[in-house]
Amino acid sequence: MGIVNVTPDSFSDGGRLGDAQAAIRYALKLQEAGADILDVGGESTRPGAAAVSADEEIRRVLPVIEALADQGCVVSVDTMKPEVMRAALDAGAAMVNDVMALRAPGALEAVAARDAAVCLMHMQGDPQHMQQAPSYTDVVQDVKQFLQGRMAACEAAGINRERLVIDPGFGFGKTLEHNLALLRHLDCLTELGLPVLAGLSRKSMLGTLTGRGVEEREFAGLAAHLMAVARGAKILRVHNVAAMRDALAIWNAVEEQLDGT
């Protein structure tokens, strides 16, 4: 899954993808580099980021989603807002990627009425305050139980299991220790029986461990994502699709070799 930010204040691509045409060109390059899904987002969810109105978010992402879907791309929309979900699905998005796991009022209904896939991500608190004092009894079990609860809420709302993907939400209301425990024990989440998505690209845990700035976390990210794959992750949400594809080519070649012997 390649990340396409259409936000003026995104922490890493900010400004560079300021207009729809640039975002579309950028997304098509990610697809050429081997992305299976293009994740289009119009609201930054980095810690402390300012909220954006639904109208503004729709204005940012809709032209990008329409153009990409028209060209046959598989598009997901990274949003918490039911209005944006509806508009994006009408414009051809195939997936809703929600860091709130459809907890916003009306979100379950917006998705249930359509036929799209959904990524349910765990977040403790809200983007404005989530990094202030993250706290868990047992982070792996707490996240697992939360996701199980959201899976049940989806099914009760008429969203079949076959449509769901789950994600521990690295960096969303988590300390370094929480993030490391979730990565180490990611296989516990695969026990829920759904594809697991992992998103670690450029995140601050990589900076903490390497001392590197946002633009210099590529190699750390590749290592972290391969460790997620080793523990069962099926979708990786990344900025540098070409680099991730190369790493996966090696991974897959070795794993196939193992399977055949």
Alpha carbon distance, N-terminus to C-terminus of the chain:
31
Instruction: Identify the residue among 99, 101, 117, 189 touching ligand 7PJ (CB under 6 A).
Output: 99
Q: Is 245 a catalytic residue?
A: no
Q: Between residue 54 and residue 93, which ones bind ligand 7PJ under the rule CB under 6 A?
A: 78
Q: For residues 10 and 22, give the distance between their C-alpha atoms in angstroms, rounded to a whole number.
A: 15
* 102 versus 255: smaller Cβ distance to ligand 7PJ: 102
CB-nearest residue to ligand 7PJ:
199
- Least spacing, CB of residue 121 vs ligand 7PJ, in Å: 4
Contact 173, 131 (CB under 8 A): yes
Ranges assigned E (strand) in the chain: 2-5, 38-41, 75-78, 95-98, 117-121, 164-167, 196-198, 233-236
Instruction: Identify the residue among 119, 164, 196, 233 touching ligand 7PJ (CB under 6 A).
Output: 119
Q: Is 161 a catalytic residue?
A: no
Given the structure tokens 């909220």, which residue do they identify? 51
* 46 versus 103: smaller Cβ distance to ligand 7PJ: 46
* 128 versus 249: smaller Cβ distance to ligand 7PJ: 128
Contact 218, 224 (CB under 8 A): no
* 99 versus 151: smaller Cβ distance to ligand 7PJ: 99
- Looking at the DSSP bridge assignments, the partners of residue 227 are none
Is residue 13 at the binding interface for ligand 7PJ, with CB under 6 A as the rule? no
Angle value at C-alpha 78, between 136 and 43, nearest 5 degrees: 90
Active site residues: 203, 237
Which residues make up the interface to ligand 7PJ (CB under 6 A)?
Answer: 45-46, 78, 97, 99, 119, 121, 167, 169-170, 197, 199, 203, 237
